[in-house]
């Protein structure tokens, strides 16, 4: 694990706490003193009403008085039994400034004087000058000491970048697999960091930044750590979202701080994860709430900093994003993130390599073939594969096995694809029968359609959030393009479940809603994005995401109502034709459908050779080939309604 010191802010707080604490104590003492001192030194004299005092003066009883502005002390003539004058002193508070008082006192022969200057005065004066600043500093110190672990109200502007000190990311290039092109490009950066002289002597400028682009979980963060690990340089890492703060201007201050730190530690790597959180196009959609200012300022600061330092200082900025299309074009300009490294989902060979990396510390049984697992996991990213190996190991451990077997891997794949088995969800007989026919419907059509892969397994054991049964189809190879007949085939497969229900039960259940959704989406995309409709031609009716984000409000092009109607009609025709073919295929293979469904009901799961025996008997009706080629049905073919009896 990297040593993460939250530099600066974590070192200071203990000092601040002492500082604040001692000031607080001092402050309290001084305040107490201020209240206590006068009452200690002042005599404890009985308090009498002012009227009584005046009455005593006029009665000639008062001997002497000390007259202050808000306090009068006096003593009486009256003598104690042994003849000495009374030492008893009384205190009264004058009602207002009584201008007659000196005259009255003189008339009654009272000896009077003003009070001597206050001995405690200098202390009060001192306190009245010192206390307010002390209170201020006390509260300040108190807050500073609190924020060490608490809300960062006062850390504004301090970079949260963590330092992974030399080599301590612990990640090497050998830990990253299946992304060879990206690795090759990044190895070059490692060389820049290690042997900068070789390049600068020739007058070459070392690139300032590289942008890692790729879907989530493909190993972008891992690659950045590997660069630091290989080059053995400090690694500053911060996530784009951490720059965005409540207060406008804070993010910009952070960027400044981050670069300052980095320049002091050069050569080093600054890694900005999830750059899209910060680098979204300025002034794009979403600005209507007015919350964009902070992000814009932060982004501007980043651009300024990237321009501001000299190319050969040895600071290399690596950023990662899975949404390159939303990045501000200014970020991608040469001189900033001038190198873009694509980190894509791995292909079959790559997946096998990644599996090998993660299986290094896992005990594998003899029968485990990582190559086969790689074939069965198209579309899995590195993170998915890491998760897969771990799931399989957990399964094996739960069964108290000595090593992880192929069966564990297969179960783990299914878990990741379809969710956990839910045998607790009990279906009644009719429901189970409906599900069985539905799944066999998918499977038979799946077996006949091109490019859809082999049907591997059908099951009526509920899984995951909503699936009551499922059919697993595994592609035999990685596919990057879909041809139009494959799209048609896929739509027909999706509708196969519902079509089987129609044929066998004469009515449909709610279980096909997801299939229908997917089929319709696919048909719509074929027409509005891929230009596969003869009528509408190769015209895009949807905007790609990038155009959408750069300030247009609607995802569709502005189209006339007539064209919209045409699109709707074409989508419906595509789906209807596929539905027709699905019905037609199942009608044609009706016996096979019933046999297979009965067996599935008994065994709950059909897979491997058992399943293949059944599906190999599936036969394609004549019209299928023609439909796959053109998407059209011949005019004289019976329509859906005739099949729907
Ligand atoms: P990203 O940043 O692209 O979203 P990460 O780098 O965070 O993905 O990957 C998450 C985890 O998945 C890694 O820690 C690693 O265990 C695993 N992983 C992802 N890609 C790879 C790869 N190419 N090789 C080995 N492991 C990988
Ligand atoms: Mg990441
Ligand atoms: Zn279905």
- Judged by its nearest atom, the ligand closest to the C-alpha of residue 223 is 1
Same domain, 612 and 495: yes
Q: What percent of the chain has pLDDT over 70?
A: 77
Q: Relative to the CA of 320, which ligand 1 atom is closest?
A: 2
Same domain, 433 and 518: yes
Q: Relative to the CA of 178, which ligand 1 atom is closest?
A: 23
Total domain count, the chain: 5
What domain range is 451 assigned to? Answer: 429-643
Q: Which of 109, 230, 110, 103 is nearest to 171 (CA)?
A: 230
Same domain, 466 and 363: no
Q: What percent of the chain has pLDDT over 90?
A: 22
pLDDT above 80 (res 391): yes
Q: Which residues surround ligand 2, an ion (CB under 5 A)?
A: 221
In a domain? residue 631: yes
Residue 286's pLDDT band, with cuts at 50, 70 and 90, is: very low
Q: Which of 46-60, 246-260, 372-386, 447-461 has the lowest mean pLDDT?
A: 246-260
Same domain, 555 and 572: yes
Residue 336's pLDDT band, with cuts at 50, 70 and 90, is: confident
Across 615-629, average pLDDT: 88
Residue 416 Cα to ligand 1 midpoint, Å, equals 17
Q: Ligand 1, from 169, 214, 217, 351: best to mutate by most atoms within 8 Å of Cβ?
A: 217
Across 98-126, average pLDDT: 78
> What SS3 string covers 10-72?
CCHHHHHHHHHHHHHHHHHHHHHHHHHHHHHHCCCCCECCHHHHHHHHHCCCEEEEEECCCCE
What positions carry a catalytic annotation? 439
* Run of H or E residues at 89: strand 89-92
Classify strands 339-342 and 62-67 as parallel, antiparallel or unpaired: unpaired
Q: Check residue 542 and report its DSSP letter.
A: B
pLDDT of residue 289: 46
Residue 353 Cα to ligand 1 midpoint, Å, equals 13
Taking the CA atoms of 47, 51, 54 and 56 in sequence, report the sign of the dihedral they define.
negative
Q: Which residues surround ligand 3, an ion (CB under 5 A)?
A: 497, 515
Tokens of 498: 């519902």
pLDDT of residue 18: 45
Q: Report residues whose beta carbon is within 6 angstroms of any ligand 1 atom.
A: 176-179, 216-222, 320, 354, 357, 382-383, 386
In a domain? residue 9: no
Same domain, 51 and 34: no
Same domain, 501 and 636: yes
Asked if 515 contacts 526 with a C-beta cutoff of 8 angstroms, the reply is no
Which of 399, 418, 437 represents a domain boundary (last residue)?
418
Across 59-86, average pLDDT: 77
Residue 81's pLDDT band, with cuts at 50, 70 and 90, is: low
Q: What is the CATH number of the domain that holds 323?
A: 3.40.50.300
Q: What is the CATH number of the domain that holds 396?
A: 1.10.8.60
Q: For 393-417, what is each residue's pLDDT tens digit? A: 999 999 999 999 999 999 898 888 8
pLDDT of residue 28: 67
What residue's CA is closest to ligand 1, atom 9?
Answer: 219
pLDDT above 50 (res 524): yes
């Amino acid at each position: 694990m990297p040593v993460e010191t939250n530099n600066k802010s974590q070192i200071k707080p203990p000092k601040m706490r002492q500082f604040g604490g001692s000031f607080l104590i001092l402050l309290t003492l001084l305040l107490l003193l201020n209240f206590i001192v006068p009452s200690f030194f002042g005599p404890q004299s009985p308090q009498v009403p002012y009227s009584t005092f005046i009455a005593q003066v006029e009665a000639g009883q008062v001997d002497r008085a000390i007259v202050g502005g808000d306090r009068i002390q006096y003593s009486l003539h009256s003598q104690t039994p042994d003849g000495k004058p009374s030492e008893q002193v009384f205190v009264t508070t004058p009602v207002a400034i009584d201008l007659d008082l000196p005259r009255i006192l003189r008339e009654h022969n009272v000896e009077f004087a003003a009070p001597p200057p206050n001995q405690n005065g200098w202390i009060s004066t001192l306190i009245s000058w010192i206390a307010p600043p002390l209170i201020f500093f006390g509260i300040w110190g108190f807050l500073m000491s609190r924020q060490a672990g608490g809300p960062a109200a006062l850390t504004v502007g301090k970079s949260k970048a963590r330092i992974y000190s030399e080599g301590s990311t612990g990640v090497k290039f050998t830990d990253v697999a299946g992304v060879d092109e990206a690795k090759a490009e990044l190895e070059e950066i490692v060389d820049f960091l290690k042997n900068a002289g070789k390049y600068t002597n020739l007058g070459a400028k070392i690139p300032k930044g590289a942008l890692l682009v790729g879907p989530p979980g493909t190993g972008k963060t891992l690659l950045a750590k590997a660069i630091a690990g290989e080059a053995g340089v400090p690694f500053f890492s911060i996530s784009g979202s951490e720059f965005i703060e409540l207060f406008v201007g804070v993010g910009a201050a952070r960027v400044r701080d981050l670069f300052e730190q980095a320049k002091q530690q050069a050569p080093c790597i600054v890694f900005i994860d999830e750059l899209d959180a910060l680098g979204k196009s300025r002034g794009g959609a979403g600005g209507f709430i007015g919350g964009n200012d902070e992000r814009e300022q932060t982004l501007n600061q980043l651009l300024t900093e990237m321009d501001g330092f000299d190319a050969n200082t040895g600071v290399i900025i690596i950023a990662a994003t899975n949404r390159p299309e939303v990045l501000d074009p200014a970020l991608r300009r040469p001189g900033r993130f001038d190198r873009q490294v694509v980190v894509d989902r791995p292909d079959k060979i790559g997946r096998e390599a990644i599996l090998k990396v993660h299986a290094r510390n896992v005990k594998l049984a003899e029968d485990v073939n990582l190559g086969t697992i790689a074939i069965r996991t198209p579309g899995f990213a590195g993170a998915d594969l890491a998760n897969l190996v771990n799931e399989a190991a957990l399964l094996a451990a739960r069964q108290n096995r000595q090593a992880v077997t192929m069966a564990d891997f297969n179960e783990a794949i299914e878990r990741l694809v379809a969710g956990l088995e839910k045998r607790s969800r009990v279906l009644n007989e009719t429901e189970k029968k409906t599900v069985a026919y539905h799944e066999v419907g998918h499977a038979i059509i799946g077996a006949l359609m091109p490019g859809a892969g082999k049907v591997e397994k059908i099951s009526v054991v509920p899984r995951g959030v909503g699936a009551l049964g499922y059919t697993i189809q595994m592609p035999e190879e990685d596919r990057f393009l879909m041809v139009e007949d494959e799209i048609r085939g896929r739509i027909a497969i999706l509708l196969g479940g519902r079509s089987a229900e129609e044929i066998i039960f004469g009515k449909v259940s709610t279980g096909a809603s997801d299939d229908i959704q997917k089929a319709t989406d696919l048909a719509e995309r074929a027409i509005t994005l891929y230009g596969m409709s003869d009528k509408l031609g190769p015209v895009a009716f949807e905007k790609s995401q990038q155009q959408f984000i750069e300030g247009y409000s609607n995802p569709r092009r502005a189209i006339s109502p007539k064209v919209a109607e045409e699109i709707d009609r074409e989508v419906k025709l595509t789906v209807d034709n596929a539905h027709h073919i699905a019905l037609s295929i199942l009608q044609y293979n009706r016996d096979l459908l019933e046999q297979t469904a009965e067996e599935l009901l008994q065994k709950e799961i059909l897979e491997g050779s058992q399943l293949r025996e059944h599906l190999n008997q599936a036969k394609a009706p004549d019209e299928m080939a023609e439909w796959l080629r053109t998407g059209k049905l011949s005019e004289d073919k019976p329509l859906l309604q005739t099949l729907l009896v």
